[in-house]
Amino acid sequence: MKLVFLDKATLGNDINLNLFNKFGEVKIYETTTKEQSLSRVKNCDIVITNKVVITKEIMDNSSIKLICIAATGTNNVDLEYAKSRGIQVKNVSNYSTSSVAQHTFALALELIEKTNYYTDYVKNGNWEKSKIFTHIEKPFNELENKNWGIIGLGSIGKKVATIAKSFDCNVSYYSTSNMNKDTNYKMLSLKELLKTSDIISIHCPLNDNTYKLLNKSNLHTIKDGAILLNLGRGGIINESDLAETLDSKDLYCGLDVLEIEPIQKNNPLNFIKNKHKLIITPHIGWSSIEARNRLVVGIIKNIEEYLK
């Protein structure tokens, strides 16, 4: 079998891919452009891709038999067309649940406790000049008894809910599909969740129901002083409306995803006045070492199942 990995750089340099050699000849590319895709997959049996798009043209002009997506999302492959061509497509689910949940709390706790401000206070030599033992210029709150609202109570949302409960938060959720009826937590309308939550975390998929779910029509209804976290997909929040809201009301925000990644120079979030109210990380929530190793194991299992 001939295998090709089109965008190995998305998995980092600390992950061992030697296990793929047992399947046959392996070609690994750090990144692949749209123009390079067809020539690189043309004579391969198995294609491994994270974000490189496999188009109808590529499927029509190659010998691909199996597409392994190094992620959970499958929007970079036309699944129906692949099926019509007899090409199997396999993704990996639930490998990053713990990692994303952990990053959710990393963002939440930074925004709540303002840790960067206090560590900078020490690093800049200000504490050593102090006449008292402490410095509480930026007051912070506890998570206990805060209302934590979750948008999208899938596997990641449930993990976040469990951790939030361990902090003694009051957990509620909004089901974007209106099909989740989890009786462990209170289900609210989106309007009620935004109005009553102290922390709001987004963990739902991006689809027709969730595209720009949060926008100028409802962002202003979020409770004053609340924290908004997006660990789902960037398109769920209208970024122009969010930038305007961050400068016009008492709202704090942590984002690990944006609609266009990497961030563009002209993204309105780059130009907000109140920069201390926003944290953006470069889509790393999924990528703990453990999660990336689980992802590789999942890809290998998918290939093994195909070859049975």
User: Which distant-in-sequence residues (6+ apart) come within 8 Å of 63 by Cβ?
Assistant: 42, 43, 44, 45
pLDDT of 137 reads 94
pLDDT of 127 reads 98
Please pick, among 57, 261, 290, 304, the residue that the annotation labels catalytic: 261
Residue 261 designated active-site? yes
pLDDT tens string 13-69: 999 999 999 999 999 999 999 999 999 999 999 999 999 999 999 999 999 999 999
Residue 292 designated active-site? no
Arithmetic mean of pLDDT over the chain: 97
Please pick, among 40, 103, 203, 283, the residue that the annotation labels catalytic: 283
Please pick, among 103, 203, 233, 294, the residue that the annotation labels catalytic: 233
Contact status, residue 262 vs residue 55, Cβ threshold 8 Å:
no
CA distance 144 to 153: 21
Domain at 97-280: CATH architecture: 3-Layer(aba) Sandwich (3.40)
Contact status, residue 27 vs residue 3, Cβ threshold 8 Å:
yes
Contact status, residue 204 vs residue 151, Cβ threshold 8 Å:
yes
Of 24, 66, 72, 22, the closest CA to residue 51 belongs to: 72
**Which whole number is the average pLDDT over 203-213?**
95
pLDDT tens string 103-113: 999 999 999 99
CA distance 42 to 134: 64
Handedness of CA 284, 288, 289, 291 (dihedral sign): negative
Q: Which helix (H) or strand (E) holds 107?
A: helix 97-113
Please indicate, yes or no, whether the overall pTM of this predicted structure exceeds 0.85: yes
Domain with CATH 3.40.50.720 in the chain: 2-95+289-307, 97-280
Tell me, which fold does domain 2-95+289-307 have in CATH?
Rossmann fold (3.40.50)
pLDDT tens string 249-281: 999 999 999 999 999 999 999 999 999 999 999
